[in-house]
Amino acid sequence: MSNDILVITEHMDGKFSDVSFELVGKAKELAKALGGQAAAVVVGGGVDANVFASDSTIQVDDAALSQFNPEAYAKVVEALVKEKSPKVVMFGWTVTGMDIAAWLSARLGVPCAAYAKDVRVEGGGIVVSCQAYGGKLTAEVAPEGETAIVACLAGSFPAEAGQGATAAEKIASPVDLSGLKMKFIEMVKPAGGDVDITAQTKLVSVGRGIGGKENIELAEELAAKLGAVVSASRPVVDAGWLPRTRQVGKSGLKVKPKLYLMLGISGAPEHLEGMKGAELIIAINTDKKAPIFNVAHYGATADLFEVAEAMLELL
């Protein structure tokens, strides 16, 4: 065992996601406190890996890893963790990290702390703050044993601290990748032809509180009066009330408008990932304890229909 931290980075289309840099930055801080080293792991080629401020970077290159493949990536990470016995393995709690972190935990019998917002060193071990129950509770957990997996929410740490130029060491896959049961077929591109919500200065964003497809019109009217476009939380899109192109959040788009007016959105961590950088956030929600009020600049505990209709009269 060691006091090292292994960061499993993420990349797509030749670019690392911000969370990779965020994790490397945090890993450096933790490694320093623990007296170990922070190593970045890049699974797959097709990306310039000499971009981290890590103590070392390993890039595993193999044809089977040229696209994200949950089975192949998981096997590679498992082999590396077994070989290096790090103190902490850091993942992003993202659409790709979520495929591997808990699998590895059960596979190796080591703890996993998910939804992590912060990690600190305490008495030679780590304590992880996790944002669970849709953001309604924060749990502080201490993993037992010599290795722990921590899966962090995107946007939890500054990305700058992880940026650097450490030269990556290229290695072949530490595990045999023939006979995989999962094969990548093709990328699926987002449907085009709709407005680009990331290019808007004003968004009126609706959540499940809007209640049904027939009520989207009210939001459209309000948006039209404000010179805004309607965006949405995921359940609205899953229900088929608005197209996927309008979804803001972790599995949607990241937006940074001047105005983000929220109608009936609770403020789940996955939604916040997509909009917390907006300049002015105003939230209308009937639940006075909705987590969104911890993030919005202005809020009102009110019925969205009443407020939207009254606004229409005034605009």
Ligand X SMILES: Cc1cc2nc3c(=O)[nH]c(=O)nc-3n(C[C@H](O)[C@H](O)[C@H](O)COP(=O)(O)OP(=O)(O)OC[C@H]3O[C@@H](n4cnc5c(N)ncnc54)[C@H](O)[C@@H]3O)c2cc1C
Question: In the window 92-131, what residues touch ligand X (CB under 6 A)?
Answer: 95
CB atoms within 10 A of CB 111: 16
Cα 61 from Cα 144, distance rounded (Å): 33
Strand-strand pairing, 11-12 and 15-16: antiparallel
245 binds other proteins (CB under 8 A): yes
Question: Of ligand X, other proteins, none, which one does residue 208 interact with (CB within 5 to 8 Å by kind)?
Answer: ligand X
235 binds ligand X (CB under 6 A): yes
Contact between residue 63 and residue 125 where contact means Cβ atoms under 8 Å apart: no
70 binds other proteins (CB under 8 A): yes
Task: For ligand X, give the closer residue by CB, 128 or 290.
Answer: 290
Size of interface with other proteins, in residues (CB under 8 A):
103
Helix (H) or strand (E) holding 50: none
Min dist CB 173 to ligand X, Å, is: 27
Min dist CB 57 to ligand X, Å, is: 27
Min dist CB 239 to ligand X, Å, is: 10
Min dist CB 67 to ligand X, Å, is: 19
77-106 mask for other proteins (x: CB under 8 A)?
Answer: ------------------xx-xxxxxxxxx
Contacts of 290 (CB under 8 A, 6+ apart): 266, 267, 283
Task: Give the burial class of 288: count Cβ atoms within 10 A of its Cβ; 0-12 exposed, 13-18 middle, 19 or more buried.
Answer: exposed
127 binds other proteins (CB under 8 A): yes
Cα 296 from Cα 267, distance rounded (Å): 9
Question: Of other proteins, ligand X, none, which one does residue 184 interact with (CB within 5 to 8 Å by kind)?
Answer: other proteins
Cα 32 from Cα 34, distance rounded (Å): 5
Considering only 36, 164, 209, 257, the residue that binds ligand X (CB under 6 A) is: 209
The per-residue b/e assignment along 167-197, b for 16 or more CB within 10 angstroms, e otherwise, is ebeeeebbbebeeeeeeeeeeeeeeeeeeeb
Question: Of other proteins, ligand X, none, which one does residue 213 interact with (CB within 5 to 8 Å by kind)?
Answer: none
Min dist CB 271 to ligand X, Å, is: 4
- Under rule CB under 6 A, which residues in 242-271 are in contact with ligand X? 247-252, 264-266, 268, 270-271
- Under rule CB under 6 A, which residues in 188-207 are in contact with ligand X? 207
214 binds other proteins (CB under 8 A): no
Contact between residue 64 and residue 83 where contact means Cβ atoms under 8 Å apart: no
Q: Which amino acid is at 223?
A: A
What size, in residues, is the chain?
315
Binding residues for ligand X (CB under 6 A): 95, 207-209, 233-235, 247-252, 264-266, 268, 270-271, 274, 284-287, 290, 303-305
